[in-house]
Amino acid sequence: MLIFDAARVLIPFVISFAVGIAAAPLLTHYLYKHKAWKKKGGKGKGMGDDTGTPLFDGLHKEREVSTPRMGGILVWGTVLATVLGLAILGWVVPEPFAALDFVNRGQTWLPLFALIVGGLAGLADDVLEVTKSAGGLSLKWRLLIVATFGLFAGWWFYAKLGVSAVGLPFVGAIPLGAFFIPFFILVVLAIYASGVIDGIDGLAGGIFAIIFMAYAGIAFAQNQVALAALSASISGATFAFLWFNIPPARFYLSETGSMALTMTLAVIAFSADVLGDGVGVAVLPIIAFPLFITVVTSMLQVFWKKVFKKKLFHIAPIHHHFEVLGWPAYKVTMRYWIITIIASIFGIAIALLK
């Protein structure tokens, strides 16, 4: 049974990767045909000041107006195609393919809903970004969308699934009562904020692919096979995206990808928590350490500017700081991949030890 369950996780991973590789040329052709890139490069004024972002613009401005956005469509589109394909295959040929259908109410409904909501909301932002030089959805609207989803998802866990606690390693479940819902919203917003790591070719794709595979391992160890299969499918689709995103990137993940992945990651982390008698949320800062440090350095940069009237880093998040120091982009990317692998292994170990 263990080997069979492992196949139920690994097969969706391979299928997603294969579907993504096959679909990428079609998406690429469409994005280049319609010139789906920003019409004005650079970030304009920096966060927390009016000095602009000359260092970032010098590193990336030219590529932003020649490389398409919306590459994240490949990720969530591939996952949805895999889900639908396996469901149809299981219906047409129940034996043995029905076991590969990993959609169920308790484990995967909400993560799939997060993937769809994040993907479509991000897509709206990207469409506005490439059609209007003024930019996409404002930050407050994006945060409102994410917070509203967090409110709904937190309520779903609390009211529908009966979850009102989070697990801590070596301690067990810590009851939060009704405060579970605002805590859920806070975590979703924090992970969404880490989406700004999508700033160097290959960086975000490799990191997210590793993180989701790590959660597939945790869910599988907790006998949450459907959740593990979904996580593995997302990882496979992200690896397919990465195949075309390594330098020089054929397209960028952009908001439709980062919003879909960050919102889904939050839900999967909570799903692998008390629901699986685990500690999925507590190990999130470990497994997703590059995302965590991205948010922390961005916050520190804003704080430093407000309080000390100067920058702490040349650019925030810190991966751009390393570029300014002279690290080639590929060196930053590969070292971040290595860090994510090591952090994920450590996080899995903590999760399994509990």
The DSSP code sequence of 108-123 is THHHHHHHHHHHHHHH
Q: What are phi and psi of 166, to 5 degrees?
A: -130, 150
User: Tens digits of per-residue pLDDT, 327-350?
Assistant: 999 999 999 999 999 999 999 999
User: Tens digits of per-residue pLDDT, 5-40?
Assistant: 999 999 999 999 999 999 999 999 999 999 998 877
Confirm whether 337 is domain-assigned.
no
Q: Which residue has the higher pLDDT, 84 or 354?
A: 84
- Report d(CA 216, CA 114) in Å as an integer: 17
- Report d(CA 215, CA 196) in Å as an integer: 21
- Residue reference for tokens 């507590």: 282
The DSSP code sequence of 147-178 is HHHHHHHHHIIIIIS---EEEETTTEEEE-GG
- pLDDT at residue 58, rounded to an integer: 58
- pLDDT at residue 281, rounded to an integer: 97
Confirm whether 158 is domain-assigned.
yes
Q: What are phi and psi of 175, to 5 degrees?
A: -70, 135
CB 196 within 8 A of CB 317: yes
CB 10 within 8 A of CB 232: yes
User: Average pLDDT of 46-53?
Assistant: 45
Confirm whether 302 is domain-assigned.
no
CA angle 96, 213, 275 (to 5 degrees): 80
Give the number of domains in the chain: 1
Confirm whether 304 is domain-assigned.
no
Confirm whether 330 is domain-assigned.
no
CB 190 within 8 A of CB 304: no
**Centroid of chain to Cα 196:** 11
User: Tens digits of per-residue pLDDT, 180-212?
Assistant: 999 999 999 999 999 999 889 999 999 999 999
Confirm whether 58 is domain-assigned.
no
User: Average pLDDT of 37-62?
Assistant: 57
- Report d(CA 119, CA 75) in Å as an integer: 9
- pLDDT at residue 140, rounded to an integer: 94
Task: Give helix then strand counts, H and E, for the chain.
Answer: 14, 2
Give strand pairing partners of 173: 167
Q: Which of 49-53, 192-196, 311-315 has the lowest mean pLDDT?
A: 49-53
User: Tens digits of per-residue pLDDT, 243-289?
Assistant: 999 989 999 999 999 999 999 999 999 999 999 999 999 999 999 99
Q: Show the domain range for 165.
A: 2-35+72-284
Confirm whether 178 is domain-assigned.
yes
Token output for 72: 């994240």
Confirm whether 258 is domain-assigned.
yes
